[in-house]
Structure 1
């Protein structure tokens, strides 16, 4: 069987895409980098740099994805999981990458396919954040510097008077001991592929995590679109939380207005935003799955 031919990108073409990628990263991370220099914190956006392990300088590194070669790119010999041919063209070293990350690739593909197969559930209303502060003393909450928008007692009543249906393990594991038994589901790490669904805001944010874990296999443009989705979701996640984040500004420069999910109007607003995120997340899942399929096809045919 003839190995699939790589699509060669001329140096002018791939350099232009690389510069566009770097410029976009610089714009996306400008606020974070300025705050770092000033020693300031942003409890909404900092999550993207603490919970997810990618740093701005790593995000700035552009990859064309599997199936492409970069003409005249010998400098990528020093990049992990890259191979240089005799003409100096660089491409993803799929043998090395899959030897190390095949398990991750398989898990991500299984998880994203399973998530896409499910109908979005839009009835959680972001109550996972409320369950994370349920019956805690003010000094015990995760974001100590942020006041609770309606106070601790009223926040507890919201948890007690709503049905909690969190499907995402990495949100559920931060529920307080008193809140965990109130959840209608008992998510675990092992059950994540069976429970993940596209309406979950955290599942949408995690598309960025999975794209980043696949490293050079995923095109840089897909990774940045996933980052932008994670940022947008994070803002809504905190606007709908019990915390008062009105003193902070979002990526568009405007103050973050609360989404009062304890009211009927707040619930409607949250569900509408959730629906939009589900659509954006699924479109990105398709792109990540396509990148995986390309890598697997090229690797299998080359091996054959």
Structure 2
């Protein structure tokens, strides 16, 4: 998949294309269904398939107080977009200057001029251009003017796409907002079902209180100040820690303030289960300074205050045993 970071990066010879547009935060199953339709249309017509997305999220520029916590960073988003089979992704740097473009200029410069769009795939609620002045009727009129077809789908973006094949009543809708709500409740399993993949948090391993090592459970402490990906609710989870070289380790993950020790700072700590390939000699891991990925698989329990170290360690033993059973069999 080609990755373009500016209109000028699009090669003149790329050819005609089928294009869609969106933030695609999380690249959930609704997004994947729409992007799959783009790919199918493009292949059926001998065209290129392209998604246009933005970085940073528009609300981070226009109204930071209303900007949502993002599910994915740009690199992970691009990796997930690549899995859909797209030929290319154009990442447009979102600025106030870009936000000032009229709907006509956006379509003419991006879809028509750079991408030579023959088909544009959008949702019924598509909005684009200055002050979101462009809507579906605007896109259709511009399509007639410039000679591209507009294909309208029901399941594009937040709030689009039903959670089951039939879309029956009561089924969970695929949306970035619903995923965020699931993570806020600690329901990483439901989040993964909507995403189609485990939710991921990435950050650099830093020094913590070193209390885990003293208890016999040394943990990798993530720098929450620069983490990428929405951190789930406080609790204990089973998940996978992936190191920069690709080694993937089953881990018990604790999120919270360590109330047993009257902590006040929220921390994300991962204890890599011993005895795994890639865990290092004698299971001694030195992860400091490494940027790691944490994929969340299951919520084990809420964060609790224990009456002393003894009950805490006993519970940690049970947590690790559950993680081993869930992740390693």
- Name the TM-score class by shorter chain: under 0.3
- If the length of structure 1 is used for normalisation, what is the TM-score? 0.21
The structure where helix makes up a greater share of residues is: 1
Question: Comparing both chains, which one has the higher relative contact order based on Cα–Cα distances under 8 Å and sequence gaps of 6 or more?
Answer: 1
* The structure with more radius of gyration: 2
Larger strand fraction of residues: 2
- State the TM-score, normalizing by the size of structure 2: 0.20
